[in-house]
Chains A and B, each alone.
Chain A
Amino acid sequence: MAEKHIARSKYDRFFFIAGLAVLVLGVVLKLCQSMPAFRRIYDLPVFLMLIGAVTALKGFLAFSKHHEGTVVLSRKTFGAFLTNNAILLAMLVLVVIICILQPRFMQIRVALDILTQSSTRLIIALGICFTLLIAGTDLSAGRMVGFAAVISASMMQTATYSNRFFPDLPQIGVWIPIIAAIAACMVFGALNGFLVAKYDMHPFIATLAVQVIIYGTCSLYFDMPPNNSQPIGGVRPEFAALGQMRIFAGNGFQGISILIPIAVVICVIIWFILNKTVFGKNVYAIGGNREAAVVAGINVFACIMCIFILASCLYGIAGVLEAARTAGATNNYGNGYELDAIAACVVGGVSLNGGIGKVSGIVSGVLIFTVIQYGLQFINVSPMWQQVIKGVIIAVAVAIDLTKYRRK
């Protein structure tokens, strides 16, 4: 392919027009859907309209800003595009294949399901990304999720439920157990941070120790009489609503899970913290070069403490949401979530060497995993094969990501 230079404005205009074309195609398909031949495309027209509208809007915005310069189209830039987006592209290919094999996949309902399933995972991944950004890790994340779930569910049972955790507990406000659960996690987060910041312990070991401590503590709590390690059930409906409520439901539309807006809000908050606050900048600085951060006068101790406490706060939120969504809890909730979260972060471009990682990357990392998992289930791939595929994705994604840096 020969090298081709295109003016930036022309490039942006192309996106605008292409987006419009896809939008129009979607509208046309929607109109044709009453014909029996087009029955089997399900919600494809709506997706096309959405994709078209977003592309057109992006193109329009870029175009209206009047960027200078040219865009180079060549074999090299094409190759760079492929490696930079390899996993996303692979996911797209997979989605197309699934859609052909099983057209029912093309439904708004499916997309919303995927987003709902991604929500709590995303919250955990956003917490863990802070610890990855300082070249650390957090193995206690999953157990903290379980701990928060058990604590919140234990205090939120209906008065009439036969097997109550606290038989004499009055019907307290919903916010009390939520705060208690999150605060309990933050105590352990502070312990994580203290071990790492004060003793310069490797986060892998510090959080491994804390993980075990949390599981033990959680099990002791769970085993208290009269509960004696029975799964907690009979959760009050106003608490369960936190994870099960659907907004905009009705008129044949099943509604949007409340988890999605919660995850979006947390996402925005984390993005803000990472990009717009002193704390966020210090996180990147410590991850980029800890020694230099010390010399620059950054309070590394306080920063590391904050990182682990903030992360545990997010795990706590995720735990409460899990308990609400499933209307129950056991001490085994959250087991292994930290590894899924780390994998999603890494696939989303967060470097385990610290200092590199974006919220957008983590969002796509989490989505990729959910889409692939959901999609493979949808076309009845065996769970064993799903595991193999998941592992391959992690290895390939990181390998591609690293070659990107090695080229420099």
Chain B
Amino acid sequence: MSEYVLEMRNITKTFPGVKALDNVQLKVRPGTVHALMGENGAGKSTLMKCLFGIYRQDSGEVLLDGNPVKINSAREAMDNGIAMIHQELHPIRFRSVMENVWLGRFPGLMGVVDHKAMYDKTKELFEDLGLSVDPLALAGEQSAAILQMMEIARAVSINAKIIIMDEPTSSLSDREVDFLFRIISRLREEGRAIIYISHKMKEILQIADEVSIMRDGQYVGTWPALGLTTEEIIRQMVGREMTNQFPPRTGAPSDEIVLSVRNLSSPLKKSFQDVSFDLRKGEILGIGGLVGAQRTEFVEALFGLRSIESGAVTKDGKAYRARSPRDAKAHGFALLTEERRATGIFGILPILENTVIANQKNYARMGVLDERRRVREADAGCKGLNVKTPSLNTLIQDLSGGNQQKVLIARWLLTNSDILILDEPTRGIDVGAKYEIYNIMLQQVNQGKSIIMISSEMPELMGMSDRIVVMCEGRVTGILEKGQYSQEEIMRLATMFAGPRKNAEDHPAAD
């Protein structure tokens, strides 16, 4: 028997234009909790997806108990004793808990399901885990914690030797976290290995035996958790050098405040709460934070896509509250969404239509479009941003990600908005196109526009922002002036509530 239950050696995985994993290794001992850490985009999820058969690595090998294996699908992964509990659980809501546990492996004979056996087995599993849930209850009615336990029960039922947990505590209360940790300890005692992905330092130091850290698709190192400190982990996670990948910032923001947000709160308690900041004319305001910091939800609310419960927004001295994106657009807002494919592009439509769609009314008289003007402005817009395409009639889905993004920016520049909200503007884009988009951003602020930029890429956030608002679990944990911020400081603020969640009362608005 090998010392390690799992060894991943020299794993490399490239996506078009991006090297997601570069010679990564991971060694996990049986009966341990192995924390896998890194910033957003460090490659943790990609590595786990390679292990779980969702992606196929370009090179490198995976060894289970010292034997090389090839895993081509989630099914094969499970047959090899690997189970994965995803961050977002998608149970079949209208079926029972037990059916969800045994999905794909229903006990029975020749296609006839033996419900009695399924019930008994589920009951036994749940009792083993100390879980008191009726196997016949509907999955959709269960809390996130119960669903997670259900997934763990599923993992135990396939007798998994390796259980991957991706941010398992992101939607759990403190008491539920305690319960989860008790179960994890149990699984560890049974000799199973847990790969635990989390950003929460306290949890890691509490539950993990070993910690592996990744950065920018590369393996940094593995340390025993005993003796590690939060500061050390952060230093290893962000410890990269800044290179000259940003155009020089000419000009500076004025003192004029164009947008001021005061104590803005979502009706959902888990979403953004009590957000306050000012945006100046000609400023690039970065919003930093980890996945789940509710940054996207916040800017979507600002743009009228989500409801706001309380708080005030003032734009150009006047009270502003968007009820719909149309409203926001009329007030001079533009939003470049995070999910380009889902909420940005019209894939089956040509570039022309994609460029002018938000500004259509200005090209029409009594609803009838001026075709020449449409083409002229779309052409000028796309050329101005250096969109590389054979013609305006090319379908946007045939362009590269960077060019699609430029078309979307052109779309919003045509509307002449004065506040551009860019949500992860360079996600999934190659380096060259990134630089062009940075240039466009600087050009716009120099023309007196203001930009709010959400970015999960630390260098981009620090390289482009005039100021940085850091959010953690829906709250602003700090606003850093240029020259004041460091990666460590941002990371500290972004992971501030690693411990028990604070209430709004004892957390004063950071302003």
Is the C-beta of B329 less than 8 angstroms from some C-beta in chain A?
A: yes
CB–CB A291/B343 < 8 A: yes
Q: Which of B322-346 contact A (CB under 8 A)?
A: 324-326, 328-329, 335, 337, 342-346
Question: Which one of B335, B364, B368, B369 contacts A295 once the chains associate, using CB atoms below 8 Å?
Answer: B335
CB–CB B360/A278 < 8 A: yes
Q: Tell me the number of A-to-B contacts counted with CB atoms below 8 Å.
A: 72
Q: Which residue of A lies closest to B340 (CB)?
A: A292
Given contacts A285-B349, A288-B346, A288-B348, contact A296 B357 (CB under 8 A): yes
Is the C-beta of B411 less than 8 angstroms from some C-beta in chain A?
A: yes
Which residues from chain A contact B358 at a C-beta distance below 8 Å? 296-297
Is the C-beta of A162 less than 8 angstroms from some C-beta in chain B?
A: no
CB–CB B349/A288 < 8 A: yes
Is the C-beta of B361 less than 8 angstroms from some C-beta in chain A?
A: yes
Please, how many angstroms separate the alpha-carbon atoms of A282 and B371 in the complex? 15
CB–CB B369/A298 < 8 A: no
Q: Which residue of A lies closest to B300 (CB)?
A: A295
Interface majority SS (helix, strand, loop, mixed), chain A = helix
Given contacts A276-B369, A277-B367, A285-B353, contact A295 B346 (CB under 8 A): no
Please, how many angstroms separate the alpha-carbon atoms of A292 and B369 in the complex? 21
Which residues from chain B contact A355 at a C-beta distance below 8 Å? 346, 348-349
Is the C-beta of B448 less than 8 angstroms from some C-beta in chain A?
A: no
Which residues from chain B contact A285 at a C-beta distance below 8 Å? 346, 349, 353, 357
Which residues from chain A contact B345 at a C-beta distance below 8 Å? 289, 292
CB–CB B348/A356 < 8 A: yes
| Complex interface bits, A92-108 against B, C-beta within 8 A gives 1, otherwise 0 | 00000000000000000
CB–CB A281/B360 < 8 A: yes
CB–CB A281/B326 < 8 A: no
Q: Which residue of A lies closest to B364 (CB)?
A: A278
Is the C-beta of B140 less than 8 angstroms from some C-beta in chain A?
A: no
Given contacts A281-B353, A297-B326, contact A292 B371 (CB under 8 A): no
CB–CB A298/B357 < 8 A: yes
| Complex interface bits, B287-318 against A, C-beta within 8 A gives 1, otherwise 0 | 00000000000000001010000000000000
Which residues from chain B contact A284 at a C-beta distance below 8 Å? 346, 349, 353
* Distance to closest chain B CB from A313 (angstroms): 16
CB–CB A295/B337 < 8 A: yes
CB–CB A295/B325 < 8 A: yes
Is the C-beta of B41 less than 8 angstroms from some C-beta in chain A?
A: no
Interface residues on B, range: 20 to 34
CB–CB B369/A278 < 8 A: yes
Which residues from chain A contact B367 at a C-beta distance below 8 Å? 277-279
* Distance to closest chain B CB from A283 (angstroms): 11
Is the C-beta of B347 less than 8 angstroms from some C-beta in chain A?
A: yes
Please, how many angstroms separate the alpha-carbon atoms of A296 and B412 in the complex? 9
Q: Which residue of B lies closest to A284 (CB)?
A: B349
Is the C-beta of A171 less than 8 angstroms from some C-beta in chain B?
A: no
Please, how many angstroms separate the alpha-carbon atoms of A285 and B353 in the complex? 8
Given contacts A277-B367, A278-B361, A278-B364, contact A294 B348 (CB under 8 A): no
Which residues from chain A contact B368 at a C-beta distance below 8 Å? 276-277
Question: Which one of B326, B342, B349 contacts A291 once the chains associate, using CB atoms below 8 Å?
Answer: B342
* Distance to closest chain A CB from B360 (angstroms): 5
Q: Which residue of A lies closest to B366 (CB)?
A: A277
Which residues from chain B contact A281 at a C-beta distance below 8 Å? 353, 357, 360, 369
CB–CB A292/B346 < 8 A: yes
* Distance to closest chain A CB from B57 (angstroms): 27
Please, how many angstroms separate the alpha-carbon atoms of A298 and B411 in the complex? 13
CB–CB B328/A297 < 8 A: yes
Is the C-beta of A74 less than 8 angstroms from some C-beta in chain B?
A: no
Which residues from chain A contact B346 at a C-beta distance below 8 Å? 284-285, 288-289, 292-293, 355
Given contacts A276-B371, A281-B353, A297-B325, contact A292 B344 (CB under 8 A): yes
* Distance to closest chain A CB from B319 (angstroms): 20
Which has the most chain B C-beta neighbours within 10 Å: A282, A289, A291, A299? A289
* Distance to closest chain B CB from A198 (angstroms): 14
* Distance to closest chain B CB from A8 (angstroms): 16
Which residues from chain B contact A293 at a C-beta distance below 8 Å? 346, 357
Q: Which of A112-166 contact B (CB under 8 A)?
A: none
| Complex interface bits, A340-370 against B, C-beta within 8 A gives 1, otherwise 0 | 0000000000000001100000000000000
Please, how many angstroms separate the alpha-carbon atoms of A285 and B345 in the complex? 10
Which residues from chain A contact B335 at a C-beta distance below 8 Å? 295
CB–CB A294/B305 < 8 A: yes
Please, how many angstroms separate the alpha-carbon atoms of A276 and B360 in the complex? 11
Please, how many angstroms separate the alpha-carbon atoms of A291 and B347 in the complex? 12
CB–CB A292/B348 < 8 A: no
CB–CB B325/A294 < 8 A: yes
Which residues from chain B contact A299 at a C-beta distance below 8 Å? 324, 326
* Distance to closest chain B CB from A272 (angstroms): 8
Which residues from chain A contact B328 at a C-beta distance below 8 Å? 297
Which residues from chain B contact A295 at a C-beta distance below 8 Å? 303, 305, 325, 335, 337, 343-344
* Distance to closest chain A CB from B441 (angstroms): 19
CB–CB A282/B353 < 8 A: no
Q: Which residue of B lies closest to A356 (CB)?
A: B348
CB–CB A288/B344 < 8 A: no
CB–CB A288/B347 < 8 A: yes
CB–CB A277/B357 < 8 A: no
Which residues from chain A contact B326 at a C-beta distance below 8 Å? 297-299
CB–CB A277/B305 < 8 A: no
Question: Which one of A277, A288, A292 contacts B364 once the chains associate, using CB atoms below 8 Å?
Answer: A277
| Complex interface bits, B351-379 against A, C-beta within 8 A gives 1, otherwise 0 | 00100011011001001110100000000
Which residues from chain B contact A276 at a C-beta distance below 8 Å? 368-369, 371
Which residues from chain A contact B343 at a C-beta distance below 8 Å? 289, 291-292, 294-295
Which has the most chain A C-beta neighbours within 10 Å: B328, B346, B364, B367? B346
Q: Which residue of B lies closest to A299 (CB)?
A: B326
Which residues from chain A contact B364 at a C-beta distance below 8 Å? 277-278
Q: Which residue of A lies closest to B396 (CB)?
A: A288
Q: Which residue of A lies closest to B398 (CB)?
A: A408
Please, how many angstroms separate the alpha-carbon atoms of A277 and B364 in the complex? 7
Please, how many angstroms separate the alpha-carbon atoms of A200 and B473 in the complex? 31
* Distance to closest chain B CB from A1 (angstroms): 27
CB–CB A296/B325 < 8 A: yes
Q: Which residue of A lies closest to B328 (CB)?
A: A297
Please, how many angstroms separate the alpha-carbon atoms of A356 and B347 in the complex? 11
* Distance to closest chain A CB from B364 (angstroms): 5
Which residues from chain B contact A291 at a C-beta distance below 8 Å? 342-343
* Distance to closest chain B CB from A271 (angstroms): 13
Question: Which one of B329, B337, B353 contacts A297 once the chains associate, using CB atoms below 8 Å?
Answer: B329
* Distance to closest chain B CB from A303 (angstroms): 11
Q: Which residue of A lies closest to B363 (CB)?
A: A278
Which residues from chain B contact A289 at a C-beta distance below 8 Å? 342-343, 345-347
Please, how many angstroms separate the alpha-carbon atoms of A355 and B353 in the complex? 12
Which residues from chain A contact B305 at a C-beta distance below 8 Å? 294-295
Which residues from chain B contact A277 at a C-beta distance below 8 Å? 364, 367-369
Q: Which residue of A lies closest to B369 (CB)?
A: A276
* Distance to closest chain A CB from B347 (angstroms): 7
Q: Which of B452-496 contact A (CB under 8 A)?
A: none
* Distance to closest chain B CB from A77 (angstroms): 18
* Distance to closest chain A CB from B119 (angstroms): 35
Please, how many angstroms separate the alpha-carbon atoms of A146 and B426 in the complex? 55
Please, how many angstroms separate the alpha-carbon atoms of A281 and B364 in the complex? 11
- Could you list 10 A-B pairs, sorted by A, with CB under 8 Å? A276-B368, A277-B364, A277-B369, A281-B357, A285-B357, A292-B343, A292-B344, A296-B325, A297-B326, A297-B329
* The 9 nearest A-B residue pairs measured at CB: A288-B346, A297-B329, A296-B358, A291-B343, A297-B326, A297-B325, A278-B360, A278-B364, A277-B367
Sample of 8 more A-B contacts, CB < 8 Å, known A276-B369, A297-B358, A299-B324: A278-B364, A284-B346, A288-B347, A288-B349, A289-B347, A294-B325, A294-B343, A295-B305
Q: State the A residues within 8 Å of B (CB).
A: 276-279, 281-282, 284-285, 288-289, 291-299, 355-356
